[in-house]
Amino acid sequence: MLKKTTIDKLPELAACLMEKGTLVAPVKEAGGFNFRAITDAAQVDLIFHNTILSPKTVFFPQTEDFVRYSVYQPILEAKPVEPEIRPTFLFGVRPCDVKSFEIMDIHFTRTGVPDPYWRKRRDATIIFGFAFDTSEEADPAEFYHTLGIGAADPDGSDVFMLRRDDVLFLKAVSPRGENLLGGLAGLTDAAPDERKYFDDYIAQGHDYKTRYTCVDAEAIAKEFEAIFHNTDFWTKVSNACLSCGICTFVCPTCYCFDICDETQFGQGVRRRVWDACMFTDFTLEASGHNPRTQVYQRLRQKICHKYSFHIRKYGPISCVGCGRCTRYCPVNIDIFSIVEQAVQAKWYKRM
Amino acid sequence: MSENNPYIPMPVEISKIIDEVDTHDIKTFRFTFVNKDDEQKFVYLPGQFAELSIYGKGESPIGIASAPTDAGYVEFTVQRAGAILPGLVTSALHDMDEGGRIGLRGPLGHSWPIEFLEKKNIVVVGGGFAFTTLRSLVKYMLHKDNRSRFGDITVIYGARTPGLLCYKDELAAWEKRSDIKTIITVDKGNETWTGREGFVPAVCKDVAPSPENAVAVICGPPVMIKFTLPVFFELGFSKENILTSLEMRMKCGIGKCGRCNVGYKYVCSDGPVFSLAELEDLPRDF
Amino acid sequence: MSRIGVFVCHCGLNIAKTVRVSELAEFAATLPDVVVAKDYKFMCSTPGQEMIANDIKEHRLDRVIVTACSPLMHEQTFRKVLAASGLNQYLLSIVNIREQVSWVTHDIDEGTAKAKALLNGAVRRARLLAPLTSRVIDVNSDVLVVGGGIAGIQAALELANTGKKVYLVEKNSTIGGHMAQFDKTFPTLDCSACILTPKMDSVLQHKNIQLMTSCEVSEVKGFVGNFDITIRQKARYVDHTKCNACLACTEKCPGKGVSEWDEGLVKRKAIYIPFPQAVPQKPVIDRDACTFFKKGKCRLCEKVCEQKAIDFEQQDTFTTVKVGAVIVATGYDLMDTRSLIQYGYGKYPGVYNALEVERLFNSAGPTGGKVTLRDGKEPQAIAILHCIGSRDKNNYEHCSRVCCMYSLKFAHLFKEKTSADVYQFYIDMRAAGKGYEEFYNRIIEEDVKFIRGKGARVAQSADEPDRLVVEAEDTITGKFIKLPVDMVVLSPAIIPRGDAKDVARLFNLSTDKYGFFMERHPKLAPLSTMSEGVFIAGVCQSPKDIPDTVAQAYGAAAEALTIVVKDKLELEATTAMVNPASCCACQNCVRVCPYGAPFFNETKGVSEINEALCKGCGLCASVCPPSAIIARHFTNDQVLAEMEGLLEF
Amino acid sequence: MSFEPKILGIACNWCTYTGADLAGTTRLQYPQNIRVVRVMCSSRINPSFIFRAFQLGADGVLIGGCHPGDCHYNTGNLYARRRLAVTKKILEFSGMEPGRFRVEWISASEGNRFAEVVREFTEQIRDLGPQTKFKISQ
Amino acid sequence: MAISFEQIEQHLKTEALKLLESGKVILVLAYGRGYDANHPMPYVAKHPSDVDNIVFNEYCTANLARYLTRYPRRTKIAIAVKAADSRAVVQLIQEDKVCREDLVVLGIPVYGMKNFKTGEVIDSKTTGGLYNPVLYDILLGEEVHGQPVSSPYDVLAAYEAMDKEERWAFWQRELGRCIRCYACRKACPMCYCDPCFIDQNKPKWGEKSPESPGNLMYHLTRFHHLAGRCIDCGECSRACPVDIPLYLFHKKVAKDCEEMFGQAAGMSIGDKPVLVNFRVDDSDKILE
């Protein structure tokens, strides 16, 4: 089912979705775009390349309250916080970001003890994927192509969208998407030539080249294992690293969190808050011992986690090539280059 | 969200506090479950741990010191952490009285591989306060229903001084039993100490347990482990038959929060129990 | 999860009148970790203390909060109760609901509400208090006495007589101080020199006293029990070890200096001893008056000195002494009354200040004990003006205490030595002291005229240009009077020494608004100061007469003795420490500490604190950006918790 | 109910706290809105204490120390003067009403000054009304 | 410009090579190629052969002084500094974090530097008026003269003109966006504490979650910690992924400090940081 609307009617579509549930869509704000719960249909803005924070914020918000408690009252009085979970429409997600949900699913719900918060939010959400504009020049930071993701992959979306000038095409990809699209007023059916345009666009998505290097998950996992103890290599690539948390916070597949008790006047809330393996206190133990005091150890953890540990533990590479970490890095550290160095040249052996 | 939410602790009540050592910074806390359902759900084996949870302070992962055969309660031996600034949770717990209530999340992690241990001779080697889950294991194996499932049991336990030995009454009781060989040692004795003096690795060498159909289960401070492992290699124990338990900063305890990994393994959900063979597959610094 | 006991004191009605104490105790019982809360009439009484002690045992308390008067009052009392009960004394918290609540409000609702907030803060803080242990240090048994007036002399002698070594530092070339300038002392009119010079001599002779004249303290390091004090020996240009006090030099000396001793009324030689009974009786050279120093030739003294004691090359030298305690007795100055132009001091020769008059009476003084004016004539009418600059909101608000009595003494001496009419212009007569009122009555009998009214102005007489006119309002008759006199005696305000501020800085003393050294407590610790191990005596603390000064000197000696009599001393436990795990090596602590307690350990790359030097001010903790410094007993956590408690309700 | 300001006082032990005691000893009356935390020296006051106090809902914060030159620790208040001046500027630029934060030098002998300052400051805060900017809503 | 970026790069390479070959320093902190020419990276040359990788262009905004404190004390380092960066070096010397004699300061007189994220010229924003390093051993080119010189505080005018309610709303909005990635403190050459006060749990100064109270506590306290130390390089703002104009607040505090204490940060190695210093005659007026 391929439907269409026009960009100027976007607010109507948005309003329509807002009636059915929470609409989360890209919004332009100071500093750039971000996914936000829409309060005013006119806020939705699809003229964007990608958001600063990845859409993982929808399923894994930066803070998630677990329990409200009073430190002076018996523990029995503590009340679990019921997250408000409504049917949600996550609108305008780039294909690489859509892919990240799948990778995160493995960690949060498909292995070990399932995380109830991720699962419930994920179950309640319909994803509107949104193809990159292949007529633009590829962003120098991005490399999703390396991870086998096309600029217009509809996989993982419920509805997939494509913009052609003023027209927005919407195609139902999953049964849930089909259901939804069928019931949305204001959309018209696409013409056959438009359907062809749509299909061609998607098919050609893989021809749209971001930075690319041949990466095989199993092989690269081994490569990083081999290089893991090469301090010189890691020192060299981490020389510029500031050890801030930007790359992990903007990353769609970083899931580390801390559990904090925040109390004032005896009333408090236990919540989880994003944490980053780049922070020194991440692994600091109560005894004062810290296994990762050096910047190189932390950068190594981050990169090896994505390109080695994750593969061995869960299968896929924990990276979708969205380029956020590179784009927002204050010192232009480029994870892709590090991967490239590790894979191609066996660079470390020349040292 | 409260149903089966792995992040929400169950309430437990302190029914007993045992001051274990003469420095008073290690205590064993016995907890009973406030909700009987929770007791049913809290099914564990020796070697597992749980998060002790005090609202306003945080959570602390602690090995379970009691054995599943101890019905009606669960015990944890807790050291007040931190030299200059005490750990928030452990010091709050130490300040509590019997009757106080806290939260408990667990059981978490993998236990000592009981099935693997069955029918084998077990050498338990512990140092200082890290003896807790070993105590659980020994208690479990010594239980009348279980004793026959295991071969010979040898316990080698050491502490720096006699006053720093934990579970003194139990040790005394074990020493009297014939179905377990108990060797207690201290680095440095005192006027009243009549037992063995010497470091654990030396004592292990001295006792020289046979590697025949045997598994060594070792827990202790890093330096003890470092010097004890070669002794067991020399005695002929294979890497698969040497087990230990790792410690790492943990938060969630269920492999989600991402901080306790050693290589691709999360200590909390893939461990904390590892064989030496498994550890060799992991990076040595992390 | 502590076990806190809260004890609310009524302080009779002092607190109970404006704070509902039983309600406060009930409120306390609802606060977290409070296991017992009681109120009682007088917590500081023996039964009150016993109650606390019993409850510590009975309820296994590990924190005690006493809600009573200011911690400055009874903190020590209650700390002792804790210590006696086996509880670390720093696990006590005092809530000040008397000085800062009940006494400053009439409204019982307001008082109770504020008391609750303060108590809540204390409970929050108490939960985080940590037991502290004091460090024990060795004590140096010697004592330094600064100032060689009667207070310093007396204190030095007392201490020396107990067998302690005393260093007596005097900045002038002789000891004796102001008392040595006086002729007679009130009210007994005994001769000042007769009672003082034997003491001065004892100082010189005492084997336990090292007398250091022409000396000043230049640096104070260390802390109670272990002070390292650097003393500057000012160049005297006379080698006192060689000088045999023949004083041939003083006879030959052509130089002329102003005699400080005689309050500038006469000149003295450039090489001189200040007065015949000076101790030590060895001359010094006044560099500013010396012909050789001024003109580069003379050296007469050197030529006449058989002992070859004259040394023009002498330099200031520095010695360091180690002492366990210090007594500061630096005395006073008179206010410079030239600034009060209405009294014409410095302008009219007939106007004198009190110390000048003391010298006029003295047989060793500039006039040989005769009362004559600067022109040599005997005055016919003399006005003594009280309270010049003191009891005066525009100058010094304080009463200088001794002026009434010495003015009476002056009147008596004028009557004795002249035939003049003597007038006292006073605000009111203050004669509180043993025998003082009797002395006052005696002077009334001696035909001295008392005019109740402060002298307002002294002017040149219009009719007789060489006479003066004192203007005042007689507040008894309400009449404005103009009294012609020949001599006016001003009784100026007694004020701290000009360099008292420097002394305060050296020894870390607080001063009051006039610059007098502050005692630790006006009633209960009048001789102690905020600096542990430093005591004060005499007028440097506040104006007082000789008996009080001497009494204080004895007291200060006893106080100092309580320190140096011990071999060991417990230091304050509330010092700062560095958590090396958090130290960022910025060294701010090292830069700011006034005591040099923090230092940078290059090897470890972190700052550390010498706790023996630390006074616990907490400055380092607040300049430490990563909060690595823990100011014990006032930790960030404790302060924040207290704030949270105070602001909760 | 009328607005009763919550004022946090932080006073140095040697001067202002003792001065506050003196105000009591001499039975001077002043409003009960001030709650005083005793620290050893005004230099102990970490600027974050002040930010935190406002977050905890203080309507005003009054700092008391010895007069410059009279610090029991010699120079503590001279550092404090600079640090607190910066604190004040930061509060001001963040948009906080500058009148809510005040530093006063009150000596141990100035009980009347203490009472006077508290009276004045309480009135000032009363006029400014409740502090809502920093306060963390429950 | 009297000298081009290419020439500066050439000078930098020449000097770095000399220093490394002579063994005078064991590393040179400079700039290297990033993933494209517009995204250069801080680069550490340790070997003469590394020198070829050194680049310099208008996007080399990073303040390399930030890396000085990463190396053990007494490491011999050569560092390339622009005007503001040199002030950071001076300030670090004042604070005894690095020793003057261990450093070879390669001064870069330059203008027209651009923010690599936005392409905006940053001269007037953060290093206004200062184009030449205040401290250097070797100047890579000639001093810049004739460029517009303005007060570094000029950009504040609009914010100072706001009333307090507007300012409060402004900072609430700006700081409210903070995601607590701590890039500001990590990019800051003067923020060398590890752990930072905000990471402490005893005491816990502010919460870790990115909500207003914790954000306010973190940023205000950080402004205070940098008072009289901020050298106006603007790295905090450029590092910020959500574009919070932190430099404005830092500038304001710097301006106040300069007015109150008569000393700007990082201008002379003989100075003492103003907040660990005092003058007896500091006026009480500063408290009003």
Q: What is the pLDDT of residues C528-537, one digit of tens each?
A: 987 889 999 9
User: CA geometry: angle at A250 spanning A248 and A255, to 5°?
Assistant: 50
Of E62, E177, E179, the CB nearest to A30: E177
Q: What CATH number has the domain spanning C334-494?
A: 3.50.50.60
pLDDT tens string D50-62: 999 999 999 999 9
Backbone angles phi, psi at C583, to 5 degrees: -65, 130
**Domain-located, residue A33:** yes
Closest CA to B236 of B221, B216, B253, B250: B216
- Read off the pLDDT band of A182 (50, 70, 90): confident
CA D63 to the chain's CA centroid = 3
User: CA geometry: angle at A121 spanning A117 and A123, to 5°?
Assistant: 115
User: What CATH number matches the domain at C575-631, 3.40.50.620, 3.30.70.20, 3.40.50.300, 3.40.640.10?
Assistant: 3.30.70.20
Per the prediction, chain B carries an average pLDDT of: 90
Compute the distance between CA of residue B59 and CA of residue E245 in angstroms, rounded to an integer: 37
Would you say residue B212 has pLDDT above 50?
Answer: yes
Closest CA to C448 of C404, C491, C503: C404
pLDDT tens string B234-269: 999 999 999 999 888 888 999 999 989 999 999 999
Q: Within an 8 Å CB–CB cutoff, is residue C644 touching chain A? A: yes
Q: Are B254 and B108 in contact (CB under 8 A)?
A: yes
Would you say residue B1 has pLDDT above 90?
Answer: no
Would you say residue A344 has pLDDT above 70?
Answer: no
Would the CATH topology of C4-133 be identical to that of C143-234+316-331+497-564? no
- Read off the pLDDT band of E194 (50, 70, 90): confident
Across the range E259-268, mean pLDDT stands at: 94
The C-alpha of C578 sits at a distance from chain B's nearest C-alpha, in angstroms, of: 9
**Domain-located, residue A120:** yes
Interface with chain A: mutation pick from C642, C644, C646, C647, highest number of A CBs within 10 Å: C644
**What kind of architecture, by CATH, is found in domain D7-128?**
3-Layer(aba) Sandwich (3.40)
The C-alpha of E95 sits at a distance from chain C's nearest C-alpha, in angstroms, of: 6
Considering only the top CATH level, what class is C4-133?
alpha beta
pLDDT at C114: 96
**Domain-located, residue A72:** no
Kindly determine whether residue B92 and residue C1, on different chains, have CB atoms separated by under 8 Å.
Answer: yes
Q: Within an 8 Å CB–CB cutoff, is residue D114 touching chain C? A: no
Q: Within an 8 Å CB–CB cutoff, is residue B191 touching chain C? A: no
* Residue C416: Cβ within 10 Å count: 12
Kindly determine whether residue C582 and residue E200, on different chains, have CB atoms separated by under 8 Å.
Answer: yes
Closest CA to D39 of D59, D53, D58: D53
Q: Is the pair B, D in contact (3+ CB pairs within 8 Å)?
A: no
Kindly determine whether residue C637 and residue E203, on different chains, have CB atoms separated by under 8 Å.
Answer: yes
Indicate whether A243 and A303 sit together in one domain.
yes
Q: Are C214 and C233 in contact (CB under 8 A)?
A: yes
Residue range(s) defining the domain that contains residue A240? 217-258+274-350
Across the range E146-150, mean pLDDT stands at: 78
How do beta strands C143-146 and C166-169 pair? parallel
Report the residue of chain E nearest C592, measured CA to CA. Answer: E276
pLDDT at C523: 77
In sequence order, what are the residues at sequence separation of 6 or more whose Cβ sits closer than 8 angstroms to the Cβ of residue E70? A295
Say which CATH topology domain C143-234+316-331+497-564 has: FAD/NAD(P)-binding domain (3.50.50)
Q: How many domains does chain A have?
A: 2
Chains B, C: CB contacts within 8 A come to 14
Per the prediction, chain E carries an average pLDDT of: 91
Using CB atoms and an 8 Å cut-off, which of residues 116-145 of chain E contact chain C?
A: none
pLDDT at E127: 65
CB burial readout C308-334, b (16+ within 10 A) else e: ebbbbeeeeeeeebebbbbbbbbbbbb
Would you say residue A348 has pLDDT above 70?
Answer: no
pLDDT at D1: 62
Q: What is the 3-state secondary structure (H, E, C) of C582-614?
A: CCCCCCHHHHHCCCCCEEEECCCCEEEECCCCC
pLDDT at A345: 53
* DSSP character string of E199-213: G-STT--S-SSSSHH
pLDDT tens string C261-306: 899 888 999 999 999 899 999 999 999 999 999 998 899 999 999 9
* Residue D123: Cβ within 10 Å count: 13
Q: Are C290 and C298 in contact (CB under 8 A)?
A: yes
Domain layout of chain B by residue ranges: 10-108, 114-245
Q: Which two tokens stand for residue D114?
A: 């203490």
Of A240, A244, A271, the CB nearest to E209: A271
Q: Within an 8 Å CB–CB cutoff, is residue D138 touching chain A? A: yes
Would you say residue A245 has pLDDT above 80?
Answer: yes
Kindly determine whether residue B259 and residue A308, on different chains, have CB atoms separated by under 8 Å.
Answer: no
Give the alpha-carbon dihedral of A108, A110, A116, A118, to 10 degrees.
50
Across the range B2-28, mean pLDDT stands at: 90
Indicate whether A132 and A149 sit together in one domain.
yes
Indicate whether A168 and A285 sit together in one domain.
no
Chains A, E: CB contacts within 8 A come to 111
Q: Which two tokens stand for residue C538?
A: 């005499």
- Flag the least confident range among A19-28, B143-152, B242-251, E123-132: E123-132
Kindly determine whether residue D28 and residue C636, on different chains, have CB atoms separated by under 8 Å.
Answer: no
Indicate whether A205 and A223 sit together in one domain.
no
For residue C162, CA distances in Å to B284, C145, C209, C329 come to 70, 15, 11, 20
- Of A31 and D110, the one with more pLDDT: D110
Indicate whether A203 and A346 sit together in one domain.
no
Of A72, A265, A288, the CB nearest to C581: A288
Would you say residue A346 has pLDDT above 60?
Answer: no
Residues of C in contact with E276 (CB under 8 A): 588, 591-592, 623
Q: Within an 8 Å CB–CB cutoff, is residue B212 touching chain C? A: no
Kindly determine whether residue C640 and residue D32, on different chains, have CB atoms separated by under 8 Å.
Answer: no
Full-model pTM? 0.81
Q: Which two tokens stand for residue B93?
A: 């717990």
Whether omega for the bond prior to residue E203 falls within 30 degrees of 0, making it cis, is yes
Residues of A in contact with B282 (CB under 8 A): none
Per the prediction, chain C carries an average pLDDT of: 93
For residue A65, CA distances in Å to A60, B104, B171, C287, C459 come to 11, 18, 45, 82, 86
The C-alpha of A332 sits at a distance from chain E's nearest C-alpha, in angstroms, of: 6
Would you say residue A350 has pLDDT above 60?
Answer: no
Q: Are B206 and B228 in contact (CB under 8 A)?
A: no
Across the range A285-305, mean pLDDT stands at: 89
Dihedral sign computed on CA atoms, order A329, A333, A337, A339: negative
Domain layout of chain C by residue ranges: 4-133, 143-234+316-331+497-564, 248-304, 334-494, 575-631
pLDDT at E273: 95
Compute the distance between CA of residue A160 and CA of residue A95 in angstroms, rounded to an integer: 9
Domain layout of chain D by residue ranges: 7-128
Q: What CATH number has the domain spanning B10-108?
A: 2.40.30.10
Kindly determine whether residue D41 and residue C72, on different chains, have CB atoms separated by under 8 Å.
Answer: no
pLDDT at B83: 67
The C-alpha of C133 sits at a distance from chain B's nearest C-alpha, in angstroms, of: 15
Q: Which two tokens stand for residue B86?
A: 């005490």
pLDDT tens string B143-179: 999 999 999 999 999 999 999 999 999 999 999 999 9
Q: Are C198 and C247 in contact (CB under 8 A)?
A: no
Q: Give chain C's residues under pLDDT 50.
A: none
Using CB atoms and an 8 Å cut-off, which of residues 51-90 of chain E contact chain C?
A: 73
pLDDT at A347: 41
Q: What CATH number has the domain spanning B114-245?
A: 3.40.50.80
Burial of residue A217, with CB atoms counted within 10 A of its CB: 0-12 exposed, 13-18 middle, 19 or more buried = middle
What region does C618 belong to: left with phi over 0, alpha with psi -120 to 50, or beta?
left
Residues of A in contact with E177 (CB under 8 A): 29-31
pLDDT at A349: 41
Using the 8-state DSSP alphabet, how is residue B254 labeled? S
Using CB atoms and an 8 Å cut-off, which of residues 78-107 of chain D contact chain C?
A: 79-80, 83, 107
Percentage of chain E modeled with pLDDT above 70 = 97
User: CA geometry: angle at A317 spanning A311 and A319, to 5°?
Assistant: 145
Contact partners for chain B, using 3 or more CB pairs closer than 8 A, are: A, C, E
Backbone angles phi, psi at A145, to 5 degrees: -60, -40
pLDDT at C649: 85
pLDDT tens string C245-261: 999 999 999 989 999 98
